[in-house]
Amino acid sequence: MGKFAIAPSAPPSAPTGELPDTIAGIVYEDIDNDDSPDQPIADVMVILIDDSGDEIGTTTSPDGSYDFSSVIAGIYTVVGMNPPPDLWTLRQ
């Protein structure tokens, strides 16, 4: 089994502080372990955690994409909940 990666859909940028800001990306599987995404993964639980520890969850669509819209400016962590966490890497 290969590695999995959460990749942002666009390069990170400074938050504007205006709504709606969006945090979005795609969850990929790296089947051949070459650190390059091979195929998107559907139905992965993705959790957005703010700097206070509050969580919001969503599930990836059939094309592996996810998004959290209307997010206020701040510091966030994006975590994939399945497959097991030891198979995940975060790409930025």
Is residue 2 within 8 Å of 30, Cβ to Cβ?
A: yes
Assess whether pLDDT exceeds 70 at residue 24: yes
pLDDT digits 0-9 by tens, 29-76: 877 878 777 788 888 899 999 889 999 999 989 998 898 988 887 888
Alpha-carbon distance of 24 to 7, in angstroms, equals 9
Q: How far apart are CA 44 and CA 31, in angstroms?
A: 16
Q: Whole-angstrom Cα distance, residue 43 to residue 82? A: 9
Q: Is the pLDDT of residue 11 over 90?
A: no
| CB contact set of 12 (below 8 Å; sequence gap of 6+) | 92
DSSP state of 31: T
Q: What pTM was estimated for this model as a whole?
A: 0.69
Is the pLDDT assigned to residue 2 strictly greater than 50?
Answer: no
Which domains are assigned to the chain? 3-90 (2.60.40.10)
